[in-house]
Amino acid sequence: MNWMAFTPELTYVAMAAVFLGLSMAREDHRRDFHTALVFSAVGVGVSLASAGVTADLFAESYRVDLFSQVFKVLLACGFFLVVVLCNELSGVKRRLHPEFYLLLTTSTLALMLLVSSVHLLTIYVSLELSSYSLYVLVYLRKNRPRRESTVVHYFLIGASASAVMVFGIALLYGSTRTMYAVEMARVLPSVISQPAAAIGFVMTLAGFFFKLAVFPFHFWAPEVYEGAVNQLTTYIATASKAAAIALLVRLTALGDSSAALAQVLVVLSIVTMTVGNVSAIVQKDLKRLLAYSSVAHAGYVLIGILSMNPAGYAGAVFYSAALVTLKFTCFMVLVKVAADGANITVDELAGLHKRSPILALALMLSLFGLCGIPPTIGFIGKLLVFTAAVEKGYFTLVLIAMINVVISLYYYLLVLKAAYLTEPKAGLPPLPVSAGDRLLAGTLIVLIVGIGFYPDPVIQIARSAAAVLL
Amino acid sequence: MIVPYSHVLALAGIVFLMGMVCTVTRRNLIMILLGLEIMLNAGALALVGASLRWMSMDGQAMALFIIVVAAAEVSVGLALIVCVYRRTGSVDPNFTETAAPEKPSV
């Protein structure tokens, strides 16, 4: 077996082992933070170094190719950035910091396994590993009223979804004789008329959609976003969304471009983005607003996936990279403004441009990016996805998506208005922004605008990643 | 195979429905967890039956994994229930109304 192909995952296994040890050692939250920072930086380096490796591991149930490696680099970067935000991890008790990092690491490991999985067993095991880590992570927040109810609902919904998925997988295996996703995509059309196969297919998909928070199974997401620590919400909104997109792209690309599947995805995409955008308008809590905006963005990504052409898949890959950058920038501002680890409402952003000009600028650019205003990375993402759909003749779909973009402009501008135009009630002191924070915010601003002007290198990477799928 | 596949499937289906009914109707977190386990076991049963039908080991391997994952699920779930019970004094999933005010924890 080619162990080199497995090094990014092994790095995170080692990191998890280190934090397991640290959780039993004396309490020292600075040491935990620095260890996590070093390990996650090494993780980014290792993922970059193994970007060109291709291999089929574990009886071909685990495929390492450019597509999976690009997403692994994205996940590693997302994880590193989230760890950077954990500098002031005030929402979690200090004694529990090593466990927080441990579970965050296992969750990242699981997402990395997920983007390489091509066998139902590996998909199932990695989905479960990632969810179990998240159940406990959500509970780690301190001083949060009703957190029991949040985490119990999350656990029960997630566990029921996985039970339904297991039974669906069993029915599918019983009718198709295989668990390899490629084989199954080939055999399934001939047996889908049997009730067992059809029921199994629906149950498996429903389980996936629950886990990945795709409409109509997204209703637990806002509660979890609101109840989790700000840093963890950042992680769920960036890294785990990117992995979900990767899994959907891979599974869709495995099946031959069937019209029926495309029709289902068209409906899902329209409903997802409309529900997300309309619900986001009425939200007061910034994290809930961003949660619904994530739901809406899942709808836009689906447009690229359902086009089922190389341009659409490349667009979806690019879009997920853009989403990670933009969402992370929003959440970075949120974490800095809510220094005591509490949730903040949109109104509490008032006067941000005076309290910290650079954070306000970063927030503005990331919101422009999420709306898709040029010249930002978000505009290029939308452009790629929408042109891919138009090539396949989905004019109405793109039109509806454009209307949705206009709706989303409304609530993004409300947030901007709070940050730039509203005067705070009491004179709030300037935010303490360290040199490292400035550097991070500056880098993100340069990325958002820079890739908006010169997107070609990233588009090339996305194209070659999508090319290996076909 | 002595027992036909359809019989195994019917049995697994009945067990799955029993688990689902238990999960949906019970108002006690431990019983709900039990229902979830029964649903998972129904899936494992169907996999073993399918494995015998096709004479391949994939289903058996998956069933073994399900047993391990179910054990992990129970340990996470029970730990959660114990924590919830300590803080709220209730194992009812709708404890939002009855929840005691948050005590400063140790």
**What's the pLDDT score for residue B98?**
46
Is the pLDDT assigned to residue A102 strictly greater than 90?
yes
What number of residues does chain B have?
Answer: 106
Q: Is A159 on the interface with B (CB under 8 A)?
A: yes
**Host domain of residue B74:** 5-88
A169/B47 Cβ within 8 A = yes
Q: Is A372 part of any domain?
A: yes
**Band of pLDDT at residue B96, cut at 50, 70 and 90:** low
**What's the pLDDT score for residue A255?**
66
CA distance A424 to B59: 62
Report the residue of chain A nearest B61, measured CA to CA.
A121
Q: What is the pTM of this model?
A: 0.89
CA distance A207 to A230: 27
Q: What is the pLDDT of residues A11-69, one digit of tens each?
A: 999 999 999 999 888 888 888 888 888 999 999 998 888 887 888 888 888 888 888 88
**What's the pLDDT score for residue A258?**
66
- Looking at the structure of chain B, the number of domains it has is 1
B61/A174 Cβ within 8 A = no
**What's the pLDDT score for residue A261?**
74
A121/B39 Cβ within 8 A = no
B9/A155 Cβ within 8 A = no
Q: Is B42 part of any domain?
A: yes
**What's the pLDDT score for residue A461?**
87
Tokens 């709708």 sit at which residue? B94
Is the pLDDT assigned to residue B101 strictly greater than 60?
no
* CA neighbor of B95 nearest in space, from B28, B47, B46: B28
**Band of pLDDT at residue B103, cut at 50, 70 and 90:** very low
Q: Is B59 part of any domain?
A: yes
Q: What percent of chain A has pLDDT over 70?
A: 97
Q: Is A40 part of any domain?
A: no
Among A125, A151, A174, the residue with its CB nearest the CB of B50 is A174
**What's the pLDDT score for residue A427?**
67
**What's the pLDDT score for residue B97?**
46
Name the DSSP letter for residue A427. -
Contact residues on chain B for A139, CB-CB shorter than 8 A: 80, 83
Find the helix packing angle between A66-85 and A97-116, rounded to 10°. 160
Q: Is A154 on the interface with B (CB under 8 A)?
A: no
Contact residues on chain A for B40, CB-CB shorter than 8 A: 162-163, 166
Q: What percent of chain A has pLDDT over 90?
A: 14
Is residue A53 a contact partner of residue A68, using CB atoms and an 8 Å limit? no
Among A136, A139, A167, the residue with its CB nearest the CB of B39 is A167
**Band of pLDDT at residue B106, cut at 50, 70 and 90:** very low
**What's the pLDDT score for residue B37?**
93
What is the CATH number for B43?
1.10.287.3510
- Rounded to the nearest angstrom, the minimum Cα separation between A374 and chain B is 46
Over residues A98-109, mean pLDDT? 92
Over residues A229-233, mean pLDDT? 88
Q: Is A134 part of any domain?
A: no
- Rounded to the nearest angstrom, the minimum Cα separation between B2 and chain A is 17
**What's the pLDDT score for residue A110?**
93
Among B49, B93, B99, the residue with its CB nearest the CB of A146 is B99
Is the pLDDT assigned to residue A217 strictly greater than 90?
no
**Which comes out higher in pLDDT, residue A254 or A83?**
A83
A209-223, A343-357, B53-67: which has the highest mean pLDDT? Answer: B53-67
CA distance A409 to A214: 22
Is the pLDDT assigned to residue A353 strictly greater than 90?
no
B84/A121 Cβ within 8 A = no
What spatial distance separates the first Cα and last Cα of chain A, rounded to whole Å? 25
- Looking at the structure of chain A, the number of domains it has is 1
Among B50, B61, B79, the residue with its CB nearest the CB of A170 is B50
Over residues A418-444, mean pLDDT? 80
- Rounded to the nearest angstrom, the minimum Cα separation between A358 and chain B is 37
CA distance A87 to A75: 19
- Rounded to the nearest angstrom, the minimum Cα separation between B47 and chain A is 5
**Band of pLDDT at residue B1, cut at 50, 70 and 90:** low
Is the pLDDT assigned to residue A171 strictly greater than 60?
yes
Q: Is A183 part of any domain?
A: no
Q: Is B95 part of any domain?
A: no
| Chain A with chain B: Cβ pairs closer than 8 A | 108
Name the DSSP letter for residue A430. P
Q: What is the pLDDT of residues A120-148, one digit of tens each?
A: 899 999 989 998 999 889 888 877 677 77
Q: Is B65 part of any domain?
A: yes
Is the pLDDT assigned to residue B99 strictly greater than 50?
no
Q: For residue A382, what are the CA distances in angstroms to A22, A118, A365, A376, B35?
A: 43, 28, 16, 10, 44
Over residues A373-395, mean pLDDT? 87
In this prediction the ipTM stands at 0.89
**Host domain of residue A406:** 255-470
Q: Is B106 part of any domain?
A: no
CA distance A12 to A43: 7
Among B23, B50, B105, the residue with its CB nearest the CB of A160 is B23
**Which of A32-46, A256-270, A321-335 is predicted with the least confidence, judged by mean pLDDT?**
A256-270
Q: Is A10 part of any domain?
A: no
Over residues B27-54, mean pLDDT? 91
Q: Is B17 part of any domain?
A: yes
Is the pLDDT assigned to residue A469 strictly greater than 60?
yes
- Rounded to the nearest angstrom, the minimum Cα separation between A92 and chain B is 13
Q: What is the pLDDT of residues A398-429, one digit of tens each?
A: 899 899 889 888 888 888 888 888 777 766 77
A173/B59 Cβ within 8 A = yes
**Which of A84-98, A245-259, B35-49, B50-64 is predicted with the least confidence, judged by mean pLDDT?**
A245-259
**What's the pLDDT score for residue B105?**
45
Q: Is B24 exposed, middle or buried (0-12, 13-18, 19+ CB in 10 A)?
A: exposed
Q: Is A128 on the interface with B (CB under 8 A)?
A: yes
Over residues B94-98, mean pLDDT? 55
Q: Is A340 part of any domain?
A: yes
**Band of pLDDT at residue A256, cut at 50, 70 and 90:** low
- What value does the CA radius of gyration of chain A take, rounded to a whole number of Å? 21
Q: Is B104 part of any domain?
A: no
